[in-house]
Structure 1
Amino acid sequence: MFSAVGLVAALALLILLTVRGVHILLAAPACAAVVAATSGLAFLPPLAVTGEGDFATSYMAGFTSFFADWFWMFLLGAIFGEVMAASGAAASVARGVVARIGLRHAVLAVVAAAALLTYGGVSVFIVGFAVYPLAVHLFREADLPRRFIPAALAFGSVTFTMTSAGSPEIQNLIPMQYLGTDAYAAWPVSLLVAGLMAGLGYLLLDQMVRRAQTRGERFEARKGDSAHDDHPHLPPPLLCLVPLLAVLGVFLLLQYPQGVPGLAWALPQQSLGKWALVVALGAGCLLALGVGYRARAAMPGAFTRGAGGAVVAITNTCAVVGFGSVAALSPAFQMALAALQGLPGDPLIGAAVAVTVIAALTGSASGGQTIALPLLAPGYLEAGADPAQLHRTVAIASGALDSLPHNGYVVTTIRAICGETHKAAYPALGVLTVLVPLLGLALAIGLFVLI
């Protein structure tokens, strides 16, 4: 009982600290220490009973394991996004989307621009920085409340794109190494679910914006907004799509190397799995450098920012994974895990509930998957769950309750990118990144049961 109270209190404290602006690298280990103290775990290895875990070792084991598994993806993804931004390619693609959708549909234009960049392989953190200036311009011209900009960015980035079949985001790749699947697992169902999430989410966002306008809310200009209009000469949008399409194309080829007989001589004999993304992002970086040749003087700085951003992004996630690793040792967590594994009915439902709960506890979709899958996947596969269906269920489930207020992406998008407060921006963002994915998850499971 004391362990359960400590686990819940630690999670609540983690949410509170991150909402208050405490850095996750400080908040996560501090809250993990609360879990350790209330669970009777030793804090240092010499104090631990032989064969039992301790706080310091367990936290760093989770931290370093995630870092080792995903560093190259974070590094190349961040560099790719920064090169796309420095070359003007990201802004060109975003403005091209805006030009075709129009100011009349300003909210849809922001969502579409974020979705296109995300599905093209640009890190969700970079997408926010790239699209935000265009969002400010559109919301100002349309006189829309700017507190909805974080919701529009997040909806386009971390819902129907991040966990869909074929997405090069790591939330769609982590299940591969545990389930033996590929990034396109259960794509027909994924396509239907993504369509529902995109349509329903946009309707909800549009209604929330309209209701706010009816109450008299308008765009509030801030100092520095004018700087977002100072764009250099941008490359043609169609040319700027080439690096994005290359990432998707190379990723697809290396997932199914035998699918193109004419290129069999140039491709590996087997799928590269998650490492296909490393090659795809590398190819995308080279093409993005070519597209941005006129901005070559800015490229060294882009590489530097990308490297720094990658370290920040991955260590933030590692910090949360470390918290989850310590939480996984607590008696309360083990009892909860046993209860989740023993849920009656379809294994997909049990997997969905388990991953959703663990992602909520860790505040990270990728962190939640990394903790949950090694523990849960073998049992669910033995119970007869289809690997492809389990992959898609886990991916979608991880992208729901992970978006609680303490999630690193949520904090970065609301505060660092958009300069808003949780009080103003999170209600809309929470509806779109928690409620909509939960409905999509229910649809996915329902369709799998009917198949």
Structure 2
Amino acid sequence: MNFGILVLVLALVLFGVLAFLQLSALILAPLVSIFVIVCSKFPVELLPEGVEKMTILTGLKQLFMPAASAYVTSYFLVFFVGALFGAVYQFTGAAESISKWIAGFSKGKFAAPIIFIITTILTYGGVSGFVVFFVIYPIALNLFKESNLTRRLIPAAISAGCWTVSMVAPGSPSIQNVIAMTNLGTPSTAAFAPSMVAVIVEFVLIFVWLEWRARSFTKKGYFFDDNRLKFQLDPEELGQGGREDLPHWGIALTPIVIILVLFNGFKVPVEASVFAGVAAATILMWKKVPGGIREWLKVFNKGAADSGVSILNTAIVVGFGGIVQKTQGFQDLVAALKTWNISPLVFVMLTVAICAGACGSASGGMGVAFNALTDTYIELGANLEQVHRIAAIAAGTLDTLPHQGAQITLLGICKMTHKEAYFDIFITQIAIPFIACFVFIACCGFM
């Protein structure tokens, strides 16, 4: 294997191992970047102006930080208003209201798919995945308890709703959709017809898989009370029932509808659309935060703080990509992929998926891929709307390898281990999204 490519593979492994050990991305990304700088060759023509030799300090100051800061400049407002919206939905009880309304239709059946549907609706409407983790988990716990279903499926059901359909569907205000729109100049509903086919296939396959696995576990004697699980629940956790004074589900849904109508119907920028949703939610559910303006300021402060953490964790990973994309190994990898007899859309799929896997982040991976390869994607001559959608779907594949920080967080919340729960996460968020990629590519051939 080409030594430069081998260095990148080793960097990916190191990235994964350190993330798996729960090392903060703020430490991890610069650390792995230093490894790449020390071990890689950098073509002179790709070095910053005036730089003749790459050193650790030069790499961090002139490649790592500019890439990270450019990501913050481009997407901070999206993260900011999204986190505000999530905080409002968390503290007013709006997310819980929608969740309980939908869960009421299950009548003790289809527990895992119902949780998947709830999280899909919330995240498609603009609620942050990290907020959804904490809001949905107690609801999922109660629903699984009523159905006497093993807890092993809770992480897959929650995370599949956060990072599959809602992240890649046409019209979604997700950061993945926004990154593609910004770099390619395409609309939020890019490649609508083939996209909808792929999204429907993805949704159905995940729904069927979760229900089949639930029934399979039950037949094998895996129930809610399972002594085989490493971590057992405390009585307090089993008693989690949520708050009583929830807003009506119709009121809770209204700001989500406003966001989607403004963003897709009136083509209002995503930042303004979500801000309008925040304003509408605040007005409609003002009384659901007791204490008036003082308590509401705490809600907004929480959202603002969350946005800073979220974008910094992602941007710092994009900084790592800023180093990688200037290495000789990365140039050789891209050149090798170009020699393969593959369609332009398959090329986009592979490069975005690899970057997402390296970063452990769909948005970080897309940021790296588009920073490095936007001109290449355009030169390939593919329909840019199709490039937009295949990139968004592909970003939601290898981003979910075991080292992904969000998965580790969710498993911790659910008191599950990778051994107990990761297989279903792998199927719903890596295997099935890859199937959706190929369905989309096939549909582009005749739609």
The answer to whether TM tops 0.5 is: yes
8 Å CA contact 2:138, 2:242 repeated in 1: no
**Which amino acid is 1:222 matched to?**
L
Q: Once structures 1 and 2 are overlaid, which stretch shifts more, 213-222 or 8-17?
A: 213-222
Residue 52 of structure 1: CA displacement?
5.5
Q: Once structures 1 and 2 are overlaid, which stretch shifts more, 384-393 or 208-217?
A: 208-217
Distance 1:380 1:60 in 2: 25
Percent identical: 32
Q: Once structures 1 and 2 are overlaid, which stretch shifts more, 382-391 or 417-426?
A: 417-426
| 21, 38, 50: which one aligns with 2:52 | 50
Query: Which whole-Å deviations, capped at 9, do the CAs of 1:288-344 have from their partners, x for residues lacking one?
Result: 112322223342222122112111111111121122221222221111012223433
1:314 corresponds to: 311
The answer to whether residue 295 in structure 2 is matched with residue 278 in structure 1 is no
| 394, 399, 402: which one aligns with 1:397 | 394
Q: How does 1:336-375 map to 2 (within 5 A)?
A: 336-375=333-372
Q: Once structures 1 and 2 are overlaid, which stretch shifts more, 216-225 or 76-85?
A: 216-225
Residue 383 of structure 1: CA displacement?
3.2
Assess, with a 3 A threshold, how the Cα gap between structure 1 residues 304 and 226 changes in structure 2: closer, same or farther: farther
Residue 160 of structure 1: CA displacement?
1.4
1:243 corresponds to: 255
Q: How does 1:227-266 map to 2 (within 5 A)?
A: 228-255=240-267
**Residue 161 of structure 1 aligns to a residue in which SS?**
helix
Distance 2:160 2:242 in 1: 26
Residue 424 of structure 1: CA displacement?
1.9
**Residue 162 of structure 1 aligns to a residue in which SS?**
helix
Assess, with a 3 A threshold, how the Cα gap between structure 1 residues 61 and 227 changes in structure 2: closer, same or farther: farther
| 421, 443, 447: which one aligns with 2:439 | 443
Distance 1:142 1:170 in 2: 35
8 Å CA contact 1:185, 1:388 repeated in 2: yes
Query: Which whole-Å deviations, capped at 9, do the CAs of 1:51-102 have from their partners, x for residues lacking one?
Result: 8684212121221111111111111101101101111111000001011233
1:35 corresponds to: 36
**Residue 222 of structure 2 aligns to a residue in which SS?**
coil
**Which amino acid is 2:270 matched to?**
L
**Which amino acid is 2:32 matched to?**
C
**Which amino acid is 1:427 matched to?**
F
8 Å CA contact 1:148, 1:428 repeated in 2: yes
| 65, 72, 79: which one aligns with 2:77 | 72
Distance 1:443 1:329 in 2: 33
**Which amino acid is 1:83 matched to?**
V
**Which amino acid is 2:306 matched to?**
G
Distance 1:371 1:449 in 2: 28
Distance 2:377 2:71 in 1: 23
1:9 corresponds to: 10
Q: Once structures 1 and 2 are overlaid, which stretch shifts more, 280-289 or 102-111?
A: 102-111
Distance 1:368 1:413 in 2: 20
> TM-score normalized by structure 1?
0.90
**Which amino acid is 1:419 matched to?**
K
**Residue 109 of structure 2 aligns to a residue in which SS?**
helix
8 Å CA contact 1:2, 1:38 repeated in 2: no
Residue 401 of structure 1: CA displacement?
1.0
> How many residues of Structure 1 are paired with residues of Structure 2 in the alignment?
428
**Which amino acid is 2:233 matched to?**
R
Query: Which whole-Å deviations, capped at 9, do the CAs of 1:233-277 have from their partners, x for residues lacking one?
Result: 11111111101111111112342xxxxxxxxxxxxxxxx5xxx11
1:155 corresponds to: 160
* Unmatched tracts of structure 2, length 5 or more: 226-231
8 Å CA contact 2:247, 2:288 repeated in 1: no
**Which amino acid is 1:9 matched to?**
L
* Unmatched tracts of structure 1, length 5 or more: 256-271
> TM-score normalized by structure 2?
0.90
Assess, with a 3 A threshold, how the Cα gap between structure 1 residues 6 and 380 changes in structure 2: closer, same or farther: closer
| 280, 290, 294: which one aligns with 2:283 | 290
Assess, with a 3 A threshold, how the Cα gap between structure 1 residues 28 and 379 changes in structure 2: closer, same or farther: closer
